[in-house]
Amino acid sequence: MPLSVTFLGFFNIWICLTLLVILFLSLSIKIVPQNSVYVIERFGKYLKTMEAGFNLLIPAVDRVAYVRSLKEQAFDVVSQSAITRDNIAVVVDGVVYMKILDPIKASYGVDDHLSSVTLLAQTSMRSEIGKLELEKTFEDRESLNAAIVSAINEACFPWGVQVLRYEIKDINPPRTVLEAMERQMKAEREKRALILESEGLSLSEVTIAEGKKKARILAAEAEKLEQILRAEGEAQSIISVAQAKAEALIIVARSASTEDGQKAIQLDLAEKAIEARKAIAKKSSVILLSDQQSSVSYVVAEAMSIMTAMNLSSKVK
């Protein structure tokens, strides 16, 4: 055999071996992405779980049976009908947020964990809504979601998955029920408006009455104070007048004790007597007096006798 033919034969063998090695390595090396795991089987039996990074397996002996993502997954729950505690049919749909905790249980504990959790969410949702009345399903949506999550996790624990949240997207009761609820809400709003209006009117009347009461009290206090001040003023005026009269009488008495005072008193009495006679003469009635009583000298003499008696009395005192 020629040397060139022998060399070419060996070269072809090495090429084949190299290709076989490259193929073997390509089939043996597995790069697992982050937050993912590969479930490996050997001859149909579970062998190990490959985590993120560089991994090796034996081709034709080991195989990747399941690829599981450890990320949180969200999927819709198909709309379905449920009956509330007060026998009203509603259509409900929601969203489930789920995460795989044990890839082995999720692969071998259930055939399809996604569809199983979805069916379980539907049955749990119907069961929890059946415990509540229609109005409570709108008011207690958070507690309803929490109850559904608790029921799902209790059932799906053997599957190696955990439901993190369940959110009800929409609750659709029948149209007739919606119209009745709208009328009820409208009547309730009108009732609250009337109550608030009546409370406002009552408060306004109370405020006005209190204002009038305070105004009357202030007016009475002002009138009382005015009367007190007026009485005090009148008393002060009377006292001042009395003091002035007393001082005038004292001055007159002092003057009357002198000779000039006596003459002044006589003159004043004569003038007053003349004025009195003039006033009597103007009237239509007729008064008859004796000549002696009608004379000025008589009047003055009478007044002087009175003054003399008063002076004697004062001296005696």
Which segment of 47-61, 119-133, 295-309 scores lowest on mean pLDDT? 295-309
Q: Residue ranges per domain, the chain?
A: 3-69, 73-173, 179-246, 257-316
Which one is predicted more confidently, 29 or 268?
29
Region of 221 on the Ramachandran plot (φ > 0 left; ψ -120 to 50 alpha; else beta): alpha
Straight-line distance from the first to the last Cα atom of the chain, in angstroms, rounded to the nearest whole number: 192
- Predicted confidence band at 317 (pLDDT cuts at 50, 70, 90)? very low
Task: Say which CATH superfamily domain 73-173 falls into.
Answer: Band 7 domain (3.30.479.30)
Token pair 């959110």 in the structure block, residue:
167
Per residue in 167-188, pLDDT tens?
Answer: 888 888 877 776 767 777 777 8
Which one is predicted more confidently, 118 or 190?
118
* Distance between CA atoms of residues 55 and 27, nearest Å: 11
> For residues 168 and 94, is the Cβ–Cβ distance under 8 A?
yes
pLDDT of residue 130 exceeding 60:
yes
- Predicted confidence band at 261 (pLDDT cuts at 50, 70, 90)? low
Q: Given 3-state DSSP classes, what are the helix, strand and coil percentages for the chain, each rounded to the nearest 5?
A: 65, 20, 15
Q: CB neighbours of 174 closer than 8 A, spacing ≥ 6?
A: 88, 89, 90
> For residues 32 and 38, is the Cβ–Cβ distance under 8 A?
yes
The burial class, CB within 10 Å (0-12 / 13-18 / 19+), for 122 is buried
> For residues 100 and 68, is the Cβ–Cβ distance under 8 A?
yes
Residues 18-37 have a mean pLDDT of 81
Residue 142 phi/psi, 5-degree rounding, is -65, -45
Q: What is the pTM of this model?
A: 0.51
- Predicted confidence band at 37 (pLDDT cuts at 50, 70, 90)? very high
Per residue in 291-315, pLDDT tens?
Answer: 444 455 555 555 556 555 555 555 5
pLDDT at 99: 92
Residues 113-131 have a mean pLDDT of 88
Closest to 150 in 3D by CA, of 160, 138, 162, 141? 162
